[in-house]
Amino acid sequence: MNPDEQRKRDLEDHLHKDLNLLKELEDNFRYADYPKDKLRLQNDIDELNKQIAARKAEQNSLNLATQIPLKDFITLDQYLDSSNPRYWPKRRDMEAKRLYQPKNYIEEIQKNLVAHKRCLLVGKSASGKTTLAIAFGLWWRDEQQNQNQHPEVGIFYLDADTSRAERDETGEDWYQQICAHDHQNELFIIDNCHLGSAAVSAFCDRWERQPPKQALVLLISAPKVSESDWDDEPEDYFYSFKQIRAILEVQPKQIYKGVIQAYSYAYCLINPELFVPVEQDFDNRERTKRLEQLCTHNLAATRSILEAWGNLGGWLSDVTEEHVLKGLERRYLRGKKVKALVPMCSLAQFEIPADDCFVCDRLPEESVKELQDENWIVAKDSSSYGVCHRLTFHPKVAAQIFRAYVMRRRGNGYKDYVEDEIFFQLKAYLSTRPVNFIQVYHRLYRNGAVELQHRLLRDTELQTHAAGNFAKRLLYDVIFYLYILSRIEPSRSQTLLRNLINHIGVEEFRKQMLALTGRRLAWVIFRLAKLSLDSTSLVFSDVSPETLGQKLNGQTMALIGRVLNLLRKLGYSRAFLQQIIQVLTLNTLAQKAEQGSLQTLARFLNNLIYIDHEQAKLFVEKLSPETFRQRLSQSISSIGMVFNVLRKLDNNQVLRKRLADALDITELAIKAQDASLQKLFWLVRHLKDISPKQAERLLTHITPAGLAKKLRAEQATVKNLDHFLQVSNYYFIQDCLRQLNDEEIVAIFERSKLGKIGSLLQWRFRQFEQFYSMFATANLGDKLPTAEIKEVSKFITRLQSIPQEGKRLAIQVLELLIDTDLTARVANTDVEQLAVLLLNADLVERSYSWFLISTLVSSGAVEEAIKHSRIRGIQLLLRNLSEIAPEFLPSIGESLQNLDLTNRIAKAEVKDLRHFLWNVRQYVGEELAKTYCEMVDAQLSSKQMANADLSELAGLLWNLVHISGMDNLQTLNQPVLLKRLENEWDTYPGHCAWILGVLLVVHPQMAQAPSFLSFSFKYIEGKLAEWLTNRIDEGNPYIFALTVKALRARNKHQAVKVVQRSLSKSFVAKKCSTLLQEAVEKAETPRSREVLQETIRFVQQLTT
């Protein structure tokens, strides 16, 4: 039987099975319950009626890829044959053998899909992610094993940057489409996930709760946005892939050579005399470097370069950017379309769609029509922004076309004008007040163009345009705009917010906010709170907890937890939050908890425990123990988080121990084989805390040999060794170390930070003495010149603490250190690290610290380091030098006099400013200290004062007052100061009285002010007396004196009672008198002397 006849018979058998299945469904349910089987049946009928031999001739294969119609997906063949320029590769590229299929990546994708049925490709724009996915799809469809298992391998593609991608419901829709076509080896590729994060996150959440039985999904995304000073919405879909370690990072550096070689082979095959094979470029170091600089590992740019090479011939490395841009100019920048293409490229290079009004009203109609005729522009209807237009080019190609336009316009110096030209084009677009204005700022950030984003945000004209249209825009977008504006111009954003609320009214604002979807409402609450807590409270003043509860009911557990957490941060009472919980259906939430991630459950439960402990217990009781146990056994990283949360609910450990004892240790051990050393350590540690026997069983499964293998494979450090010493026993680690040779153990030391080595040796020197000795002899001398200063400092102090051997070991290190050139490292490091190193060296032996500082001062390294050091580091250096080498303090003082510390003072913590002022006064000079007092007084913000510890704040205020001698200190008039005193008087009366005493030194008249008279001694006399006694015991005469000054000014009679109570014991009174007298003799400022003398007179009157 020939292959065609066999294939036809197989197809007939398959059709017969489908017919029987449908008949059974109709017999049992009176209708076909599975539409996928109907579609499958229709497809098989269509295939059977074709002449198989003819189809083979047409397609050059018997591939019966299922062409099941899907609403949002296209087939792989449709992708390859599409006229959309962004879709690459095309079928012609395959036929010309220009498609590179990297074997290592294809194997990794297959491994993830087989293990997890899903995989996430992550990489920067133009790193080759989509091309790799298509290459994998082609390989997957043609792979012989897949053909044998199921001849109808279907590959489908979806671009997530769709008009509906901002809605969660779209992700649910994609999921349902895939489930309706859930066949063996069917692969669904979802591209540009970062541009449709809402839909993709909803899709992944649905998939995770109930994955299809057979279908596979391959997602493609730009990297997750890193944390920044303005929070972007997180791409939640990363989480589910991270949990199963199914994220594959695509590195263009590993792919671009293969792409170039594929093109080179294709070109040389056509005309071997015109082209120099690219292998000859790679054999030449200079040409290879030139290629790397030209391509910048950007595969979209690389294709344009290769196309230019196709026209030029010769060496690929001889192609310049100018050649590429000239080619793009000839190809794209001709005819009437240019006037529309250029502004569209300025947007498209950042993946920004163009508003319909802009395209139809501002761009020439004939120019737009030419773009449409070329299929270079498409219009899509958006649920949020109406019709938007997108170029069909890859963003990097759009950027190249724009650069080609700038080069044509500006000539040879075009590179200097590109950024300005982009700014003017984007400003022109935003000036038209487009509906999707927020997408401009959002996608600039997503593409790393933060400076350009800030430049546009700061533009006053654009701020006016945006504010003028607030009432007509989506509230979600308006709050997002104000929020990102607040990160660079906070006062302006708050003004615009107040104007908006006043303009539309609180009721309308609240109405629009509550009309948002649950997810968007959560982000509006968060951003509004960051903008202004007062405005948030105003808007929420009449929002009932029942309303919020109803809004949240039915939302995902992750979203509900996020909103509850935000409301907690806003200061809403437990009673308010409890009423929200009462509206939620805990049974439904419990069902969702069993389907969602354990991390989401833990975060939600953590909030629930805070809000309503009893409801949290009821919620946990509704969870299925068996499901809970199984999922804990399958998720190593979740165990610790869940147990930590349950600790708050389960003080007696009964529930946690029951769960721990029920864990399937064998399954955990299997999972642990793929876990990192860090995750494995935390797993064993959590088990050991709750169920030591289970921890021992797990270690038995891991075995010393297994741990040694992981230490070797993961390039372990001393930190990993120390971790497992904490959770295992001496013999387990000794057996593990025996599996490693001496060189491998020394290599562990070599890879480790010096501070961690010191920590290990500090407690386990005898166990590792031999290995450390080998490391110190062979490697320590080479490691010290590259180690961070702070690590060297930790290393020395921890070695010194080793019993008997410590000083000898520390001296060995210091001997090596004084022969090491530290100049460059110290010059580029905050002097705080040097200050600590000097102190630690001094504790070993002063000669070493003196030698180090003398060498570094003479080389200019210290002076250079001070230029970029924080206030904390400078004040620590002054203090430590005063004890170690005071002769170098004048040199430090000269360096300080030449510096402007204004910005550093504005960012410093109050406690560091306190010590800085005194250390400068004591060790450098009085006049310089007074200058810094003026700076601190001018720069100290209400935020710094609000966040400071009361004792540190009081100390700073006292140093300001008595060092400066000024009467007009604006810091003392800050409203936040009086507000803190009012709020904390009952809790910290001693600290508050101390601060009041400082204020009275400068403003004695305030003793008659109503605000001062509001401070009452009722119920706190005992606290104040104890406070004064403790200050005497500690030897703090100034705090004692200033507190007494405040008490006397408030109520002299009560002050007498409090002070007498504190001095009731004769030895305390005597110690107080001595302390005050000695302090007066040493007092260095008029105000400090005056306060002490005044207190001495008062105390003498009481004790005589």
Domains in the chain: boundaries: 1-62, 69-250, 252-319, 321-433, 900-981, 985-1104
Q: Counting Cβ atoms within 10 Å, is residue 1095 exposed (0-12), middle (13-18) or buried (19+)?
A: buried
d(CA 1003, CA 968): 9
Give the residue among 744, 809, 747, 810 at the shortest CA–CA distance from 783: 747
Alpha-carbon span 40 to 496, nearest angstrom: 58
Peptide bond into 89 cis (omega under 30): yes
Of the candidate ranges 78-82, 240-244, 609-613, 1074-1078, the one whose mean pLDDT is the lowest: 240-244
Percent above pLDDT 70 for the chain: 88
Question: Which whole number is the average pLDDT over 89-105?
Answer: 82
CA angle 194, 200, 206 (to 5 degrees): 155
Mean pLDDT along residues 654-681: 84
655 alpha-carbon distance from chain centroid: 33
d(CA 205, CA 213): 16
pLDDT in tens, 154-207: 899 999 887 565 666 788 889 988 988 888 878 999 998 888 888 888 888 788
pLDDT of residue 565: 80
| Most confident stretch, 213-227, 569-583, 588-602, 1028-1042 | 1028-1042
How far apart CA 106 and CA 44 sit, in angstroms, is: 30
Specify the pLDDT at position 39.
41
Burial 26-57 (b: 16+ CB within 10 A, else e): eeeeeeeeeeebebbbebbeebeeeebeeeee
CATH topology of domain 69-250: Rossmann fold (3.40.50)
> Cα angle at 814 between 812 and 819, to 5 degrees?
105
SS3 87: coil
Which range, 242-246, 586-590, 619-623, 989-993, is most confident? Answer: 989-993
Residue 596 has pLDDT above 80, yes or no: no
The whole-angstrom separation of Cα 403 and Cα 342 is 10
- Answer for the pair 204, 240: CB distance below 8 angstroms, yes or no: yes
Higher pLDDT, 838 or 301: 838
Parallel, antiparallel or unpaired: strands 354-355 and 155-159: unpaired
CA 391/CA 567 separation, integer angstroms:
42
Q: Give the residue from 301, 343, 333 showing the smallest Cα distance to 404.
A: 333
Strand 247-249 with 155-159, pairing: unpaired
* Token pair in block for residue 833: 């690290």
- Residue 573 pLDDT more than 60? yes
Q: Match 């996608």 to its residue by tokens.
A: 443
| Res. 54 pLDDT band, cuts 50 70 90 | very low
Residues in the chain: 1104
Query: What digits encode the pLDDT tens for the residues 3-18?
Result: 555 555 555 555 455 5
Tokens encoding 920: 């400068």
Instruction: Describe the crossing of helices 989-1002 and 1086-1103 by its angle, rounded to 10 degrees.
Output: 120
Mean pLDDT of 232-242: 64
Tokens representing 985 are 């008087």
Res. 44: pLDDT tops 50: no
Distance CA 555, CA 516 (A): 13
**Gap between the Cα atoms of 849 and 877, Å rounded:** 12
Q: Is the pLDDT of residue 559 over 80?
A: no
Any residues with CB less than 8 A from the CB of 990 and at least 6 apart, and which? 1023, 1024, 1027, 1028, 1043
pLDDT higher than 90, residue 447: no
Q: 321-433 sits in which CATH class?
A: mainly alpha
8 A C-beta contact, residue 483 and residue 531? yes
Query: 301 pLDDT exceeds 90?
Result: no
Where does residue 89 fall: left (phi above 0), alpha (psi -120 to 50 degrees), or beta otherwise? Answer: beta
Tokens of 551: 């809004």
Segment (H or E) for 697: helix 692-702
Q: Give start and end residues of each alpha helix (H) in 359-394.
A: 365-373
In the numeric block, which tokens belong to residue 1060?
Answer: 């007498």
Task: Say how far apart CA 522 and CA 1008 lie, in whole Å.
Answer: 48
pLDDT of residue 638: 74
For residue 483, give the nearest of 427, 534, 436, 527 by alpha carbon: 527
Q: Could you tell me the pLDDT band of residue 979, with boundaries at 50, 70 and 90?
A: confident
> pLDDT above 90 covers what percent of the chain?
42
Residue 354 to residue 439: CA distance in whole angstroms: 10
Using CA atoms, how far apart are residues 565 and 580, in angstroms rounded to an integer?
12
